[in-house]
Structure 1
Amino acid sequence: MAGDESFHHRSSLKQTNKPFKSKFTTKGELKIKNKGKVNRSIQYSAKRNEISKADRRNAAKIAQNKKRQEIININRLFSGTNGTPKIIAVVPLCVDVNSVDVTKKFFETVEKDYPVDNDGRPVTLKVERFKQKVQFIQCRKNVNEILDAIKVADYVMFLVSAEEEVDKFGELILLTIKSQGVPTVLTVVQHLEKIPNKKKPEIKKALTTYMEYHFPGEQKIYSIAEKNDCLTLLRQVTMQTPKQLVWREKYSYVLSENIEYDSNENVLKVTGNLRGQQLSVNSLVYLNNYGNFQIQKIEEDIRHDHSNKNGMSVDENSYKRTVYPDPEIQEDLISENEPDPFEGEQTWPTEEELMEAEERVKNMNNMDGVSIPKSVMTNNKEIRKVPKGTSTYQAAWIIDSDDENDSEDDYSDDDMKMEVNQESINNKISEWQSSMNANEEIEPEVNDEEFEELEIPNKDDLFDAQIDEEEEEKAYKEFIEKKNQANMDLEFPDEVDTPLDVPARERFQKYRGLRSFRTSPWDPYENLPVDYSRIFQFENFKRTKARIFKAMKNVSDEDEDKFYVQPGRRISIYIKNVPQSLYDNYNPKKPFIVFSLLPHEQKMCIVNYVITKHSECEEVVKAKDPVVVHCGFRRFVMRPIYSSNTRGGTNNVHKAERFLQPGRSTIATAYAPITYGPAPVLMFKYNENENIEQMPTLIATGSLLNMDTNRIIAKKIVLTGYPFKIHRKSAVIRYMFFNPDDINWFKPIQLTTKYGHVGHIRESIGTHGYMKCIFDGLINQQDTVCMNLYKRIFPKWNTEIYNDEKVDGEYVNVKEDEDMEM
C-alpha cells in the first residue's frame, strides 16, 4: 500500500559533490576558469648579492660626506682675504649698456677707487666686508672675447636695459653661451631709474620672463641704481657656491692678470691664480691664436696662499716655490707622425695581368654557364660561303658545318629529350626525301665560282641598324634637360648622370656595390690616404681616457711636491719658445687665458663631432667648406665632411651627406687634435676678410663624439636607367650605360627600382648601352631602375689654428641700418 511506503523530505540545501580533478582540461575550460588571470612564470636567475640595510646606510653616508667635502673645498678656495677671487664675466646684451660702468658701480658700493690706469683688462675687487675677492671681466661686444671669458668665469652677469630690447647680437650671445656651457647666471638691469615708478614692475616682469625663457629657474632681476642693491648682489655672489662646468674642471687654467716677455730667450711670463685641476710642470699649455707650448718653470707665491686667512707675514727669502720639469717625462710638441714612404709599398700588376683582367671582364657573359660563339665575344662579323644572290637575311638561316658542331654543345638536357621524341618523325621525313631524290636526275657538281663569301652581321649589328646615333644622342640630351627642369636632385639627391664622353668603368672606378649597406664587409684599412699615416690611433680610446683621469687623481706625494702646483695658488708660468708676435699683438682688453693639455691632446687624429644646424641659419653649408669650430677651449679653421648620425651596422659604414641639413643631427669629421670629452662644439661661418663690422654667423652647435678612425664615410651615387621594353619579369633598360664594356663591368651589382623591385643584369644588347635585366616581378613602364654605388671619402689635411687678432674691437649695432631700410 501507499501508506506503508516511507516518506522523504527534500533537503533545503542543494548538495554539491566534490568535483573530479582532471589533468586533461580543454583550453576553453581553462580560459573560462582563469578568466584572464595569467600565472607568473618563475625566472631562475643568479642570486644577487643583497646588501644589508646597514651597508646601504653606510654607503649613502660616505657619498654624502664626499659631496660635503667637495663643497667645503670649493668654498675654502674662495674664503679669506688671500683666497682665490670669484670671476664674473660682465656681458652686455643691449645697445645702451656698458660693462665698465657696472664695474665702477660695484667699486663705489664698497668705497674703493676704480683703477685709473685700467684699460679694460680684468680688475679685482677686494670685498673686506665679506672677506672675499671678486674679479670682473669687462667684456666688449665681441663674440670671441665673450666666449673666452665664459670659459673661465664662475658667474655670468648679463646686462639688460630698461629702455632698449635685446638686439640680434644679444640673441646670438645667449645662444652660444647656452651651447658652450652656462655658469651661474646673474641679470642686472640698467637705466631703470629713468623709468616712471608705475612702469617699473611691468618692465621687471617682462625682463624676468625673458630670462626665464633662456635660463629656466629662479631668475631675479637686480638693479644697481642704489647702493643697497649693489651690496645685496655682492652678498649673494660671495655667499653662493658657483656652479661648475663639467668639461672645464678636468683642466688647469689661469686667467692672466699680467704678462711679461723676455725677447732674448723668447719666454713669456703669465701671472694669475690657478683654477681647475692641479697643474703639472711637465704638461703642455695652450695659448689662443698660437697653439701648444712647453713650460720652462712655475713659480708659486706662498704669500698669496688661500690658507693664510689672517694675512700673516712670510719671510721674503722664502716667499716663492719654484718647480722645474723633468726632460725625460715632459710632454713633447710632436703633433703628427712622420710617414714612411716605403711602408705601404705594393707590387704593381704587370701588363699581362691587366690584359687578363680586361679579358675576364669581356667574358663575363659566360657567368650563366652558356657558351657564346667567338664572333659574338670579339664583336667580329661572321663570314659564310653562300650561293650568289643570297641576301644577308637568307644567309643567316643557312647552317654552316662549324655552326653545327658548336650548336651540338649548346643543347641543354631539355633539348636532348625533345630530339629523342622527334626521332621517329625525322626518320619518316628522311625516307620521303630519299624516295623523292631517287626519281629525280642527279645534279652536276657545283663550281666554286657560283658561290660567294658574305658577311653575316651579329645580333648587336642588327639591333644597332635600327637606331640612328644622332637621334639617340639628341633624345638623351632632351631627356636629361627635362630631368633637370623637374628638379629631380631635390627628391633624389644621390642621382648622377652617366657621362657620354667617358666610360663609366673609368669615371666610377673607385666605387663599389654593396648588397647590404649595414652588413656587407668593408675593410677599414683598405686604400687609406697618405694623411692617415700622420695621425695617431688609439687601440682603446675609452680605456686610455679612464687611465689618464685615474692617474690625475692618484699622484704620489713625491711627484706632487716635485712637479705639481695645487689649484687656488697665485703662480707665474714661464712659457718657452713663444713668438714675439704674440706679445706685440697682445691686447689687455681681451681675456688672456692659459689652459693646460692632458697627455696626447697635442696629437692629431680623426675627430668626429655630432652637430645640429641652427634653425635660423640660412647659409648653405656644403661639405669641405671652411668653418670656424670652437671645441672646448680651442678654436680651429677646418673643412669637415658630413655623414649621417646613425649607429651603423657591423661594418661601421655611414652615408656621406653633401650638405649640412637642418632639423637633424649630423656627424662632422675632420683632422683635429685629440680631445677627451665631453666638450661643447660651436661652428661659425669662416670669412677670410673677417672684420669687427660683420657679426659672426652661427652655423651649428653640438658636442664632441669620439676619435673613431675606422668610421667609414661612404659617398653614395645612384645610376638610373629606364625601361625600354618589358616582357614579364625581364626588361630592356637604357640610359644607364652607353657601351657593352661598362655593362659587363657593373654586371655583378644588384639593381633596384623605385617601386621596390630587385633584379640583376642578364646581358648586353647592341653597342649603345641597352641591356637585358631580370627582376623579381613585373615592373612598370614608369618605374626607374637604380644601381647604388659607394665610395669611401676622407677629410683633407687642412686644419689650422683660428687667429682672431684681426677681429679686434667692439661690434657696431646694425640698428641704424634697419631703420634706414624701414
Structure 2
Amino acid sequence: MAGQQGSQGHSHKAHGKQTNKSFKSKHASKSSLRDQAKGRTHRPAVKGEASKATKQASQKVQAKHLKVNRKHHAKQVLDKKRRIVEDAKGIFAGKNRNGDRVQRVVAVVPMTEDVSSLDLVELLAQSIGGELSGVEGYRSLDVPKFHNQSIRFLILPPASRTTSLFPILDAASVADFTIIALSSEEEVDAQGETVLRCLTGLGVGGSNGGVFGVVKDLPGGNPTLASSTRLSLQSFLTHFFPSIERIHCVSAAPSASSAASSSAMATEDSSSSAAGPSSEATLVVRALCEKTPKGLRWREARPRVLAERVAWEKEDAATSTEGPSDEDRPKGFEGEDLGTLVVEGVVRGGGLNANRLVHLQGFGDFRVSKILLAPPSRPTKRNASAPSETMSVDGTPSTSAPFDPLSLPDDDADSLASTNIPDDDEFGLDEQTWPTEEEMASAPAARDRAEMPPPARPGTTPKLKKVAKGTSAYQAAWIIDDDEDEDGDLEEDEDDDAMKAEGGAAEEDQEEEEEETEFVDTAADETASVSARPFADLSPEQEEAQLKEYLSQRAAQRNTQNLDDLDFPDEVDTPLNIPARERFARYRGLKSFRTSRWDPYEELPRDYGRCFMLEDWKGMSRKMERRGQQVEGAEPGTRVIVHIANVPRRVVDEHNPLNPFALFGLFKHEHKYSIMHFTVQRNTENSDTVRSKDPLVLQQGFRRFAINPIFSQHTQRNGGRGANNVHKFERFLRHGINAHVATAYLPITFGNSPSLLLRVPTTSADAPNASPDQGIHLIGTGALLSSDATRITAKRVILTGHPFKVHKKTATIRYLFFNRDDVEYFKPVQLRTKTGRVGHIREPLGTHGYFKAGFDGPISQLDTVCLTLYKRCFPKWGRVWDGRPLPVVNKQDVQQHAALHEDEVDMA
C-alpha cells in the first residue's frame, strides 16, 4: 500500500491561502470615458453633493408630477372609451345637424295571419303610455321615458302571404331592429320559414343581435301550457336567430296570463319572475331605445335614405324640349314621362354624395341633381295625418322650400353608361359586314315571316289533315302529315287488319270516332297566305289545361335528366346522323383539367366586350369601402331632400304605400356591368330541380336582378382560382356540403354582400293561365365571391365506347365514333377508362368508327373507354328585376306541345 501511494504521488491543497481582490478602476483617462460613452452626452455633474433636504424635495416634486400624469392618463382613457361608445351609437348619440334626434327604424314582421303588426305596435305604445302618429305603412312613437328617443315602426304584412317576401326583405335592409311576431295558436307555414331563411341569408340577426322575438297572448289559466308554449317558440326562433335569448309576451290583458308569464320567467330568470306581459312590452320598448344598433356590415359603408315624403315633379317645358342627354337618360324608359323624384328622409350609413348614383328598388340606377338640407320634421299630433307624408304626383313635399344645397354634382359625377363599346377588331368582327339601317328596320317583319309556315303554291290542291277535334288552324299547320312516314303506314295497316278480325263492334267504334273527327283546310288559296291568317286564341280553360300538362311533363323530364346526370355525369351519346367533329367542333381536349393552361382571352363572345374588366376586385373593394367611410356630401344623420333626375312617373304610380320606399347610394363604378361570381349553397328544404341558365331572381344585398346563371364547382385552392383558374361546369345545382359558384353578367358590386337565389312564379296570380304554384322558393344562399373575367367555366362532355377485342394492353374500341374521319380528328385526345387506365388512339380500323388503342396497362372487356372534351361556357345577360313574373315557359312551346300530344292521340 505504501508503495502504491508513493508511485501515485501525493498532493496537498492549502486551504488557508489568501486571494486578494483585483483593483477595478472606473476609468484610467478621459479617452476611456469617451470610449465607454460611445457618443452619448451626459449632463455636467453638480459640484458637491446635494443635501438631504434637496433630495427629499426633488422626490416630492417627482411624485407630484407622477400623480398628475396618472390623472391625465386616466382621463384620456376615459375620453377614449366615451368616444368609442359614441362612435358605436353613431347617429343615435345625440341631435343631428337639423337639431333633432334620429329615429330608430324597427321592422315588425308578423309570421301568421292571426297576428297584426299594427295591433302589436299599439300594445307597445300602450305599455309606456305613448301615442302613435303616422300614416299607412309606418307609425312613429316618441319615448321621452327612455333617453328621449323616437322609434319608427314599419308595418308589414304577414309573412305567410306570397307577396310579402320582398317588402319584408326591403324593410329588413333599411331597419335597425327587427321584431319577429309569433302566434301561440297558429304554426309558421312553409312560406314563413322561407322568409326567416331569407332574413338569415341577408345577415339579419347574426352577431349584431338586432332581432327580438315577440309572442302575442300566451294561453291563460294554465301556467304549464304557457311555459311550454314559450319554450317551444323560443326553440323554433333560435334555430334561425341564435342571438335571441328569450321570447317576450305582449298582451292586452295582463291579468289573464300573468301566472303563465311568471311561471315561464321563473325557469329563466328569478329576478323577473313577477313581471307581467305589460312590463315585458315595456322591456321591449326599453331595449329598442337603449340598445345600440350594430347594423349590417355590408350596408353600413353605403348611404341609404328611408323615404318619409316622396313626390314626383314633371319637368319644365324648357327642360323637356331640350331633353336629357343620352348619358343622363336611364335605359329602359323610352317613351315614358320623365321627371324629378323628390325624396325626404334621414341619411344613414355613409355620406350621401350627389356625384354618386342612387338605386331605386325595381327600377334601376339614377342620377342625383341636388341634395338639400331639410328642416326638422318630427311627426307630431298636428301633422300626424298630413297628406304630404305619402306618395304624391305632380307635387312637392312640404319641405321643398329653397335651402342651401349640401351637395351638387360636378365633373366627377358618375354617368349612366353601364356597358362598354366592344372593339370589333378584338372579337374578329372587323371583316364582317354590318347590316344597314334598312335591313335593321325590316328585320322584325322578316322574322315574323320566317316563323310562319310558307304559303301554298298557286295551282296546288289544298290538303286536308286529320286532326283532333277543337284544334285550331294555326296548330294544325304545324302537325306533320302521317303520309310522310312510311313506318307509320305499315303500323296502321297492321292495326286495320287486327280490327277487321275483331268483328263489327270494332267497326262501330271506328265510325263513332270518325264522326268526332274534323277536317281542317291547312293549305292556303292562291291569293291568301298563312302568315295573313289571324291567330286563334284558346279559351282560358284550354290554355290552363295545356300549361299544366306541359309543366308536369317538363318537370318529369328535368327530374329524369337530373337523375341520369347524377348516375352518369357528363356522359353523352355520340350522334349517328352528325359527324362528331362537327357536333363537338367547339370542344377541346385537355391533358390535365387541373393544371393545363387555358387562354382566358381566346374566342370571347361579344358580350365580353360590353363588360368592364377589373384587374383587382378585392383591392378595389377595400378602396371603395375606405372611401365610403370618408364623409362626402350629406353627413349621416342629416335630414335631407334628394332630387333624383329623369325618373319615370310609374315609380310613384306602381309603389304600394304599405311597403317601405328607400334609396341606396352606390359606390363609384357600381353601375357598370361585369362578370360577377357568387357562391350558392342549396337550401335543404327545397327539392326543386335547378338547371344552369334557368331564369331565377338574385337578391344581391339591396339590389334584385333577373338572371340566368351558370353553375360551376367552387375551388378552395389559391384563393378560389386553383392552379389554372379553370372550373368544371355543373349542369344542375344539387344539394351537398360543398357550395357552387354561380356566374352572370351583372352590375359591379363591391364588398362581401350576401346573395339569395330565388325562384318566382312563372305567371301572375290574376293571369288567365296562371301557374298552379304561386309560391316563392328559396333555392340557395351565399355571398359575393369576386368579379373575375379570367375565370373559365368549362363544360365537360364524355364520349363512351366499348372494348370489342382486348389483347393485354391493346384493344379494339367501337361505338365511340361511327366514321373513320372522326377517329382521325380526335386522335390526339387522350383516352381513359373508368378503372383508371390511360391510353391513346393508335389507328382507325375500317370505315365504321372502329379503332385500335393502346393503354398503360391491361384492361378488361367489361371496362368503358371514355374520351373527355371541354368547352368554355358563358352566362346570359342579367337585368334589374322589376317584380314581374319571369317567362320560364314560352306560350308557343306549350301550344306546340299540345298539338303534338293531340297528334299522338289521333294516331293511336
- TM-score when normalising by structure 2: 0.63
Which AA in structure 1 matches 2:676?
V
Deviation by residue 1:296-345 (Cα, 9 ceiling, x = unmatched): 1111125469xxxxxxxxxx999943134234111111110122334433
Equivalent-residue separation in structure 1 for 2:626 and 2:2 (angstroms): 101
1:344 aligns with 2:366: no
Match in the other structure for 1:71 = 85
Match in the other structure for 2:414 = 331
1:156 aligns with 2:156: no
| Alignment check: 8 A CA contact 1:122 1:257 kept | no
Which AA in structure 2 matches 1:137?
L
Say which SS state the counterpart of residue 836 (structure 2) adopts. Answer: coil
Q: In the superposition, relative to structure 1, how do residues 738 and 654 fare at CA in structure 2: closer, same or farther (>3 Å)? A: same
| Alignment check: 8 A CA contact 2:112 2:183 kept | yes
Equivalent-residue separation in structure 1 for 2:290 and 2:358 (angstroms): 32
Match in the other structure for 2:600 = 524
Q: In the superposition, relative to structure 1, how do residues 748 and 303 fare at CA in structure 2: closer, same or farther (>3 Å)? A: same
- 1:802 deviation in Å? 1.3
Match in the other structure for 1:714 = 794
Which AA in structure 1 matches 2:185?
E
Match in the other structure for 1:494 = 570
1:199 aligns with 2:225: yes
Among 883, 893, 900, the alignment partner of 1:804 is 883
Equivalent-residue separation in structure 2 for 1:733 and 1:248 (angstroms): 60
Q: In the superposition, relative to structure 1, how do residues 716 and 740 fare at CA in structure 2: closer, same or farther (>3 Å)? A: same
Match in the other structure for 2:155 = 138
Equivalent-residue separation in structure 1 for 2:682 and 2:783 (angstroms): 12
Match in the other structure for 2:281 = 230
Say which SS state the counterpart of residue 297 (structure 2) adopts. Answer: coil
- Per mean C-alpha deviation after superposition, the further-off stretch among 692-701 and 292-301 is 692-701
| Alignment check: 8 A CA contact 2:710 2:875 kept | yes
Match in the other structure for 1:514 = 590
Which AA in structure 2 matches 1:241?
T
Match in the other structure for 2:644 = 575
Trace 1:256-405 onto structure 2 (pairs within 5 A): 256-264=307-315, 266-301=339-374, 303=376, 320-345=403-428
| Alignment check: 8 A CA contact 1:655 1:714 kept | yes
Match in the other structure for 2:510 = none
| Alignment check: 8 A CA contact 2:760 2:885 kept | no
- Per mean C-alpha deviation after superposition, the further-off stretch among 625-634 and 539-548 is 539-548
Equivalent-residue separation in structure 2 for 1:554 and 1:486 (angstroms): 50
Which AA in structure 1 matches 2:685?
E
Equivalent-residue separation in structure 2 for 1:62 and 1:284 (angstroms): 41
Match in the other structure for 1:770 = 850
Which AA in structure 1 matches 2:234?
T
Deviation by residue 1:659-696 (Cα, 9 ceiling, x = unmatched): 00111310000000100121111111133314498331
Match in the other structure for 2:234 = 208
Say which SS state the counterpart of residue 532 (structure 1) adopts. Answer: helix
Among 784, 803, 808, the alignment partner of 1:728 is 808
Equivalent-residue separation in structure 1 for 2:561 and 2:699 (angstroms): 40
**Percent identity of paired positions between Structure 1 and Structure 2:** 40
1:757 aligns with 2:814: no
Deviation by residue 1:219-250 (Cα, 9 ceiling, x = unmatched): 22212224433222211211111222110111
Q: In the superposition, relative to structure 1, how do residues 62 and 173 fare at CA in structure 2: closer, same or farther (>3 Å)? A: farther
Match in the other structure for 2:110 = 92
Which AA in structure 2 matches 1:716?
R
Larger RCO (CA under 8 A, 6+ residues apart): 1
Match in the other structure for 2:776 = 696
Which AA in structure 1 matches 2:690?
V
Deviation by residue 1:432-467 (Cα, 9 ceiling, x = unmatched): xxxxxxxxxxxxxxxxxxxxxxxxxxxxxxxxxxxx
| Equivalenced residues, count | 601
Match in the other structure for 1:37 = none
- Per mean C-alpha deviation after superposition, the further-off stretch among 296-305 and 130-139 is 296-305
Say which SS state the counterpart of residue 199 (structure 1) adopts. Answer: helix
Equivalent-residue separation in structure 1 for 2:795 and 2:353 (angstroms): 45
- 1:491 deviation in Å? 2.2
- TM-score when normalising by structure 1: 0.69
Q: In the superposition, relative to structure 1, how do residues 317 and 6 fare at CA in structure 2: closer, same or farther (>3 Å)? A: closer
Q: In the superposition, relative to structure 1, how do residues 784 and 67 fare at CA in structure 2: closer, same or farther (>3 Å)? A: farther
Q: In the superposition, relative to structure 1, how do residues 279 and 59 fare at CA in structure 2: closer, same or farther (>3 Å)? A: farther
- Per mean C-alpha deviation after superposition, the further-off stretch among 597-606 and 202-211 is 202-211
- Per mean C-alpha deviation after superposition, the further-off stretch among 175-184 and 68-77 is 68-77
Q: In the superposition, relative to structure 1, how do residues 806 and 785 fare at CA in structure 2: closer, same or farther (>3 Å)? A: closer
Among 544, 559, 583, the alignment partner of 2:620 is 544
Which AA in structure 1 matches 2:614?
F
Trace 1:419-818 onto structure 2 (pairs within 5 A): 489-554=565-630, 560=632, 564-646=633-715, 647=717, 648-663=721-736, 664-691=738-765, 694-797=774-877, 799-804=878-883
- 1:795 deviation in Å? 0.7
Equivalent-residue separation in structure 1 for 2:731 and 2:74 (angstroms): 52
Match in the other structure for 1:15 = none
- 1:658 deviation in Å? 0.3
- 1:138 deviation in Å? 0.8
| Alignment check: 8 A CA contact 1:626 1:686 kept | no
User: What are the ranges of 5 or more consecutive residues in structure 2 without an aligned counterpart?
Assistant: 5-71, 159-163, 255-277, 317-338, 379-398, 433-559, 767-772, 887-908
Match in the other structure for 2:144 = 128
Match in the other structure for 2:58 = none
Deviation by residue 1:374-419 (Cα, 9 ceiling, x = unmatched): xxxxxxxxxxxxxxxxxxxxxxxxxxxxxxxxxxxxxxxxxxxxxx
Equivalent-residue separation in structure 2 for 1:273 and 1:285 (angstroms): 15
Match in the other structure for 1:467 = none
Match in the other structure for 1:368 = none
Equivalent-residue separation in structure 2 for 1:76 and 1:276 (angstroms): 9
Q: In the superposition, relative to structure 1, how do residues 196 and 62 fare at CA in structure 2: closer, same or farther (>3 Å)? A: same
User: What are the ranges of 5 or more consecutive residues in structure 1 without an aligned counterpart?
Assistant: 9-57, 306-315, 350-483, 808-822
Say which SS state the counterpart of residue 209 (structure 1) adopts. Answer: helix
Equivalent-residue separation in structure 1 for 2:211 and 2:881 (angstroms): 29
Equivalent-residue separation in structure 1 for 2:757 and 2:229 (angstroms): 35
Equivalent-residue separation in structure 2 for 1:486 and 1:673 (angstroms): 31
- 1:733 deviation in Å? 0.6
| Alignment check: 8 A CA contact 1:148 1:591 kept | yes
Equivalent-residue separation in structure 1 for 2:401 and 2:881 (angstroms): 42
Deviation by residue 1:689-739 (Cα, 9 ceiling, x = unmatched): 144983311111111000011000000011111111112211111111111
Equivalent-residue separation in structure 1 for 2:83 and 2:743 (angstroms): 41
Q: In the superposition, relative to structure 1, how do residues 571 and 525 fare at CA in structure 2: closer, same or farther (>3 Å)? A: same
Say which SS state the counterpart of residue 577 (structure 1) adopts. Answer: strand
| Alignment check: 8 A CA contact 1:637 1:686 kept | no
Say which SS state the counterpart of residue 248 (structure 1) adopts. Answer: helix
| Alignment check: 8 A CA contact 1:163 1:191 kept | no
| Alignment check: 8 A CA contact 1:124 1:134 kept | yes
Deviation by residue 1:623-677 (Cα, 9 ceiling, x = unmatched): 1000011000000110000001114543211000000011131000000010012
| Alignment check: 8 A CA contact 1:169 1:695 kept | yes
Equivalent-residue separation in structure 1 for 2:562 and 2:239 (angstroms): 44
| Alignment check: 8 A CA contact 1:189 1:222 kept | yes
